[in-house]
A and B are shown apart, each in its own frame.
Chain A
Amino acid sequence: MPTVARRALSPIRLRVRPGGVLPILALLAVLLVLVGLRQPDFLDPPSLMSFLGRSAPVILLAAGQYFVIVSGEFDLSVGSLVTAQVVVAARLIDSDPARTWPVVLLLLVFGALVGLVNGLVTTRLRVPSFITTLGMFLILVGAVYLWSDGAPKGGLSEEFRRFGRRASEDVPLLGRVPYALLVLVVVAALAVLLMRSDFGRTLVAVGDNPRTAQLSGVRVWRTRTVAFVLSGLAAAVAAILLGGYSGVSFQAGAGLEFGAITAVVLGGVALGGGRGSVVGAMLGALTLELLFALMNFYGVSGALRSTVQGAIILLAVAVSATRSSSR
């Protein structure tokens, strides 16, 4: 857990600052060593690449969730949004390859729109985002069931599924690089650039102290709404990858919102906003996936996943709360 990693590193005080990525990197390294001891071939390029590809959707969702959390809000709707996207894509494409690209575009618009509604309801109608996005979660679940009469219809085209299950073959050194990983790398680079931009710095400032931000001319409502839109877009991309990888079902996105929140918290981002980096959030997601893989290798029941997530959230928040109050 992060505490242990911090203790171990405390002699190197200089860059260990709250919200930095060093603790999560250390934890990730520890887990990699443990995995390597138990299952040495996991670290070979082919299996590592496919692990990264499989983890891409969750990492993307963590990045999306990061924008919302660092601005001081929550997005609980992303799991059901992913489900809705996959089911909608299957029905609209209906196995017709020609519809692939229009539907991909539509999914992005759909994701952005859901984020926009989340953002506007939260900021303009002043509904706490916890409630707004919980409501959106339920609305999407119900709407998808209704629209598909209780069972997913149609099917995804092979072109659509390509993003989630195919790979770029024969890459030097790495061998097989999943498309999902390529998508992830591009999105991650964009996210990092965004967080270095004026918008990114302003977003964190809004989460840190919205009053100061407002009195410095920030349109707080707009900034937060954009964060929700980014989370919706991230969910759309994650849905495209997930649909391709694991196919169409009502369970496609189940529980992903909590996975994303756990990952963000694990990555050193403060709930309530104002602290943490998008890289930390994405590393948090990777660490979480690696932890699940490790549990798998050691024969721990997969049923414990949500218990582990819950424990991580409580522990991480408790640690950061006691640390910040002691200052």
Chain B
Amino acid sequence: MPDPPVPLLTLRGIGKSFLGVRVLDGVDLDVAPGEVHAVVGENGAGKSTLMKIVSGGHAPDAGTVEVAGARQAFRGPRDAQRAGIGIIHQEFNLLPERTVAENVHLGHEPVRRGLVDRRAMRERTRELLASIGETELAADTRVGRLGVAQQQVVEIAKALALDARLLIMDEPTAALADHEVELLYGLVRRLQQRGIGLLYVSHRLTEVFDLSDRITVLKDGRRVTTVATADTCTDDLVRHMVGRELSSYYPDRAGPDEPGPVRLTVRGAGNRKLRAVDLDLRAGEVLGVGGLQGSGRSALARALFGVSPFTTGDVTLDGRPVRLRSPRTAMRAGIAYVTEDRKGEGIVPRQSVLDNALLAGRAVFPARSGHAARARRVRDLLAAVEVRAAGDDQEIRFLSGGNQQKVVLARWLALDPRVLLFDEPTRGIDVGAKSAIHDLVRRLARDGAAVLMISSDLPELLGMSDRIVVMRDGRIAGELPAGATEEDVVALAVGHTPQSRTEIDR
């Protein structure tokens, strides 16, 4: 399509670092009026940071933001709103007890003689909704009574009420049911006809191809390419999203005879976030779990650990059926879980290293061989995983992320678990500690534990796993053997099977 003279939004050379980590580097991007510009990339490619910069949530370290040709320096989301940029987050910002009209005009209610002019508010809301073809939605309905799709419409109307010319939609279909997605498509097209530009962030390539005019691919904080949607295909896109050097070394995988008998089986299991999950986990193997954020990877680990238990299906452990109703029952069954949110739910920050390492044992298993013996054992484990701290009595919050993680590992190793669930075990950890944790994970498998490891870090997932299952939309989308490529994983994760490969059946 021909480029219109003045784009709605122009980004030039945008860069951003957090604590010395480069998250965005020299990103260029522009959106024309009436254009849907999709932004795609793996987890951690920098999409959310870029959207936050456009919507005034972060200030860029480098580069410029121009809206309709005028250079902008947003000091906060309000500045961005004033410049005509609206953002529709995955999580809605609506007041459930207020009406549609009240939500749409929140913070800028029409006023007559010092009082809120309710009639004008309703009238304007009605016009606004009609202008985007939403005549069904009544302006005086309480928002809490609306479905997700309708709430999304309210969010959009709210942005339009502030004269937004550019709308950012962050994974707009993530919360929608299949039939609601069609409605969103219609809405997006009507917004386009009004000349509104859309920045459309999504993991789902089908949508991206259905809706967008152009696509920008981000990888590791850089723009890989921007292409007209008509000139590309999903294969190309997936190839752009992945493809990176395997930069670090991983411990040897399990040999052919190492994986032992099946330790954990899951059959037809599901809950609010998971559907029909079938899974076998063998003693002695590391099973990698890939997939995008929100695909159900963490939900699977949390179900197996009894945090948000399965509501349907069966789980057996060493051939015996188990019901994993709570972390305690899971721990008693021999399951351990290392959470991805180390700070929020992995450590007790102001307690000592030793108290942190003893926490799980103290809570669930009375010290049969005496308290002193247990403490000695845990001290040995802390030494074995090479925790660097000023002493056992140092508060854990003063340790580096890697050392904190080692303490958490020691906590679980003290229980001699038969099944270990790792959720992003090396997230936010420096390189040295990372490979120490990789070695440890492999050693545990070698000693006969069954290991399930979730990772968004594709090289890690591929380098560590003896087998990989990839999740999508709460299901297991497919399984890959050791030696699979990043492309294979991403293709399964976004729901696209490359023609050149046949899916591996187990």
Contacts and interface: CB of A to CB of B under 8 A. Distances in A.
A216 B350 contact: no
A267 to B, nearest CB: 16
B197 interface: no
B350 A19 contact: yes
Nearest to A274: B350
B355 A205 contact: yes
Tell me the dominant secondary structure on chain B's binding face: helix
B327 A201 contact: no
Q: For A17, A209, A214, which residue has the most chain B Cβ atoms within 10 angstroms?
A: A209
16 contacts: A18-B350, A198-B363, A198-B371, A201-B359, A204-B348, A204-B351, A209-B345, A213-B348, A214-B345, A215-B327, A215-B345, A216-B411, A217-B328, A217-B364, A274-B348, A274-B350
A237 to B, nearest CB: 27
Interface residues on B, range: 20 to 34
B360 A217 contact: yes
Contacts of A18: 350
Contact of A216 (B363, B367, B395): B363
Q: Which of A205, A212, A216, A217: most chain B Cβ within 10 A?
A: A216
A201 B345 contact: no
Nearest to A214: B327
Interface string B338-369: 01000011111111000100111011101100
Contacts of B355: 201, 204-205
A205 B348 contact: yes
Given A198-B362, A202-B363, A216-B411, A209 B327 contact: no
Given A198-B367, A201-B362, A219 B328 contact: yes
A217 B363 contact: yes
B347 A216 contact: no
Nearest to A211: B345
Given A198-B367, A209-B345, A275 B328 contact: no
Nearest to B362: A198
A201 B344 contact: no
Nearest to A197: B371
Contacts, number: 74
Contacts of A94: none
Nearest to A208: B348
Interface residues of A, number: 22
Contact of A212 (B359, B362, B364, B395): B359
Interface in A175-218: 198, 201-202, 204-205, 208-209, 211-218
A208 B331 contact: no
B262 interface: no
7 tightest A-B CB contacts, nearest first: A217-B364, A211-B345, A216-B360, A198-B362, A208-B348, A218-B363, A205-B348
Given A211-B345, A217-B364, A205 B359 contact: yes
B350 A212 contact: no
B74 interface: no
B310 interface: no
Interface in B148-194: none
A194 to B, nearest CB: 13
B44 to A, nearest CB: 24
B307 interface: yes
Contacts of A217: 327-328, 331, 360, 363-364
Contacts of A202: 359, 362-363
Contact of B358 (A201, A212, A275): A201
Which has the most chain B C-beta neighbours within 10 Å: A202, A208, A219?
Answer: A208
B278 to A, nearest CB: 26
A270 B327 CA distance: 28
A216 B359 contact: yes
Contacts of A275: 350
B364 A209 contact: no
Contacts of A214: 327, 345
